[in-house]
Structure 1
Amino acid sequence: MHDTASRVPARYWHTLDDGRIECDLCPRTCRLHEGQRAACFVRQRVGDHMELTTWGRSSGFCIDPIEKKPLNHFFPGSSVLSFGTAGCNLACKFCQNWDISKSRDMDRLMDVATPEAIAAAAQRWGSTSVAFTYNDPVIFAEYAIDTAIACHAIGLKTVTVTAGYIHGQGRADFFAHMDAANVDLKAFTDDFYKKLCGARLQPVLDTLVWLRHKSDVWFEITTLIIPGENDSNEEITAMAEWIHRELGDDVPLHLTAFHPDFKLTDRHGTPHATLTRLRRCALDAGLHYVYIGNVADRDGASTRCPGCGETVITRLGYDILDYRLDAHGQCRHCGHALPGRFGRFERPFGNRRIPVAIGSTAGR
């Protein structure tokens, strides 16, 4: 382990013939001269190696409902300790966490914590898991992996909320330490990724296929629906058909409402009717679990059993109003086993957000 709030050697890079260092972590493959930072801003060349500059430093810790990640089939009703650092390897013009992901100010990372302290705090507050979120944890992979190891050592689960923009050995190493993931599939056209994210679509699809066929990670997919950009019936139908064909009909898809932010403040928010229309497209394409998020929609947030059609988890926002699955995730009406990770359901955490000081000794 490393000293708190230190710069640590980074993995996933190699030296080019011209003397530059190339980062191998994500498809941007940044090539750096001495002192330069990668596009994510937190991976920097120092001398003849690369360093991660945000190990042990966070933009804040909070206890959230797991449904906020969003994960609807991963220990529903449980709480998760969430945190992020700074920077991002995408350049999304619509970023909803832009003050964190676009930050170039390392001094804003005032919360300092070792992996062991984070795991202990999550356990102290009664959380089932720890989530790496707010900005993309791919870029602080070494810190996330170290924290995941500390969490697993005391029986906690780990969650990553990511755009899935990662490749090669980094992907295998990173997800080997994750129990669940929510992957942002931001759209289903390369043009969208190039124009609004400064990235490409195919690496994200590659990550999703890898997760399904090469890992045991439980994952769900989120698409933020932006009016005029990725809200056509044709695009969402094509996306859902691809998910059905390549990943299976049991992968949950969350269609969430856009709110004007960052560089897209000239757009209006996503109409509720648009989300309802697109949800129907995805369901008609054969997906069993399609959810509506960022708006109050009891039907669109609830889980139905594909075996008998009964509602087995009734949600409104992040609140669970009724729960009809056993500890193995089987429907109490017909016995059909739902996909996901389940356990004994007790008092749900509900729609709360509790800021946490990792050094605190206060209980839940």
Structure 2
Amino acid sequence: MHWLLLAGFWLQAALGIALRPLLRSRDGIVVLYGHKLNGNLLALQRYLLANPEAGLRPVFLSMDRDYLRELRAQGIDACWASGPACVGLLARAQALVSDHGLHALGPWRGLYQKLGLRFFDVWHGFGFKGFDADDYRTLHGYDEAWVASETQREQYIRMAGFDPAIVRPTGYGRTDALVKRSLDADAVKRSLGLDPSTCGKLVLFAPTWQQDDPTRSMFPFGMSAAAFLDALEGFAQSMDATVLLRAHLNTAMEGGGEHARVVQVPFARFPDTESILFACDALVCDWSSIAFDYLVLDRPTFFLDVPAPFAKGHSLGPECRFGPIVRSMDALLEGLRNALADPQGYWSAHGQAHLSTKEYVWGSYADGNATQRYVERLLSFLND
């Protein structure tokens, strides 16, 4: 079915090229293409809807027809990539912003550019995972790649062979709401099925996926799912807290029984990761890029001492693990207890590493204005 959907997308893209000379418009259609409408794409979509004076209309494009029905039920302008409506959308659009490549549209990118469609990328994560030019080969021909900071720009050029002229540091739009503290934590908790008056403080456990290590478990220290989750349940009960368990979208959740204070918040049901981050008082992760989004909130973060699952080494190295590195379950739970009970003690021990990593990773671009810079970059091309 996936291959059939890709073939359908490829065909609609081909037909769009044929019709573009006849239908090409200047009505400001911006196609947002990704697996889900979340992260940087969601930030851009919300900004454009809130600022109609920009003259840009966001339309989300996806091959997942069931997901599109969900979006349309929410009143979101969305289009099925493998259906005939995609032809008219691509024929009329002025810009396309992706966060994970182009898939079946990739072979047609050059022709679309010759016919006036501009391509921009906001890659979905800036983290520990190493990469090379092959990982980003489809992006080298984009009009621009928007990156988190000068540090990421340097990596794109040095590690992945990008033309410096197309790599623009903008910040990540998805962190704007975190920087501005513009979300409602109690509303987020209620959306997760929690009672803000009884759930206590929230700890998020968000490990990365197997990546290049097929034997990797999402649970650390050689523990079974049941043993690990039982330990978290005991901790949460003793602290009158709640632990949120968020497996990576590429990870099948392993079982572990029922727990009153360990709540699963899977990506499929809760795709807006940033709102979950905003509601949490502490984060536990391993080598996930989620740590660097959470970094802008200035809250305790714990890193599990487990091997990194990256075949190509690191982009951001182990020195960027800015919080305590815990080597056992007992150490993890003790650290969490201390951080929740005595935040000042945490910052006395780890504040300097936190601030220096934040400056290195984000520089001046974690200022809450990244999405505005996305729009400025779009308009600079489209006005030309």
Q: Rg bigger for which structure?
A: 2
TM-score (normalised: structure 1): 0.31
Highest RCO, 1 vs 2 (Cα 8 Å, sep ≥ 6): 2
In terms of fraction of residues, the more helix-rich structure is 2
